[in-house]
Amino acid sequence: MSEELGELPEAVQAWIGQRRYQQVGEFDVERGYVLTSCASVENGNPIYWDEKAAGDITGGWIAPPSMLSVWFRPHHWAPQRSGASQPLQIHFDLKQALDLPEAIMTENTIVFYEPVRPGDRLETCQVLRSISPPKRTKLGLGRFWVIDVEYLNQHGQPVGTESYTGFGYRRGA
Amino acid sequence: MPISPKLLLGDVKAGDALPDLAYDVTATTVVLGALATRDWRPMHHDKDFAQQRNGVRDIFLNTPNQAAWFERYLTDWTGPHGRLARMRFRMKDSVFPGDRMLFHARVEKVTEDAAGCGWVDLAVTLSVEGRICTECQARVSLPADAAHNPWKLEGDRWRP
């Protein structure tokens, strides 16, 4: 089966464990987007809607912890953009380097630390943790990989880490 | 007057079931969720793309928006003093327009750490017509008493 996908290139193996794509968010954390998120899932938690509740309970407005990755997704278009990295760029690098045109995420773990607040400008980096041998699933033949994304606020405090398991594959292979 | 916690650690024990949440998904639910999470990928708003490239029947809920749904479901139960510590998802199947999502959760473990922080571990599922689409292992912190607030824990005192 490994012959059908070829051996794992040494250059790709060398990515494992490297901290790559260190990046500062394109924009500040903003409350309007917090409310858009809450509205999308009808989340009426008063810490996002009621200033007194936010003051009493969370020491002011915060963003829902589950929005962590939202602050790094670039705008769909921006002037003079060239070669901007995508969120989870390593995921797309792997698809290209391993010639696996389709990919899905199968597992995602998020750990939350300091609350994220409007006005914060977050920083991130990506670390490839592992790549599996070739596997066949109902989607096709491919490989699983695990990527960690680390997030810090502008004070250098960790605000969260995400760990993604992706499966890159060839349909019907 | 300060807002009182809705739920305290002592109110919860292993084996407790949370109230279910049912929600009818429409194309708007999927697209709104994708935009709210700044996910512009076409399989979350373009039915032709989803069918032809992903081989599925329609656009489907993206993972970050599912995270927001799980957070909403959990904090509906805990109230605003409940602080989400971690979530682990396993995506098994997709959620499409026309599906009725059903969220269900059961408390697996209740503990308290040396900093006095109370932890509740839960097994949560998102299912459609009895088919589990996403499993979520979640951990939330609850106040140990009415004077305690997990959101006030910082640095080494917060150990999610």
The confidence score (pLDDT) of residue A1 equals 46
Q: Do the Cβ atoms of A53 and B55 come within 8 Å?
A: no
| Amino acid type, A10 | E
CB B108 within 8 A of CB B48: no
| Cα–Cα dist B59/B33, whole Å | 12
- Contact check, Cβ <8 Å, A40/B91: no
Q: Rounded mean pLDDT of chain A?
A: 92
Averaged pLDDT of chain B: 95
The answer to which of A2-11, A55-64, A115-124, B45-54 has the lowest mean pLDDT is A2-11
Report the C-alpha gap between B85 and A157 in whole angstroms: 16
Taken in order A152, A153, A156, A160, is the CA torsion positive or negative?
negative
Q: Which residues contact A7 (CB under 8 A, 6 or more apart)?
A: none
Residue B84, SS3 per DSSP: strand
Using CB atoms, which residue from B55, B89, B158 is nearest to A113?
B158
**Closest approach of B14 to chain A, Cα-based (Å):** 22
Does the beta-carbon distance from B35 to A37 stay under 8 Å? Answer: no
Question: Is the pLDDT score of B141 beyond 90?
Answer: yes
List alpha helices for B8-61, DSSP H.
Answer: 27-36, 47-54
Burial environment of residue A155 by CB neighbours within 10 A (0 to 12, 13 to 18, 19 or more): exposed
- Res. A126: pLDDT tops 90: yes
Residues A149 and B92: their CA atoms lie apart, in Å, by: 22
ipTM, two decimals, is 0.96
Cβ pair B91:A107 closer than 8 A: yes
> Nearest by CB to B151, which of A40, A58, A73?
A58
Which chain B residue shows the shortest CA-CA distance from A61? Answer: B151
What single DSSP character describes residue A99? T
A→B contacts (Cβ < 8 Å), by residue, are 33, 36-47, 52-53, 56-59, 64-67, 69-70, 73, 76, 102, 104-115, 139, 157, 171
Q: Which of A39, A40, A106 sits opposite B90 (nearest CB)?
A: A106
Asked if the model's pLDDT at residue B1 lies above 90, the reply is no
What's the pTM? 0.87
How confident is the model over B53-92, as pLDDT tens digits?
888 999 999 989 999 999 999 999 999 999 999 999 998 9
The Cα A22–Cα B112 span in angstroms is: 36
The Cα B82–Cα B119 span in angstroms is 10
pLDDT at A85: 61
Tell me the pLDDT band of A173, cut-offs 50, 70 and 90: low
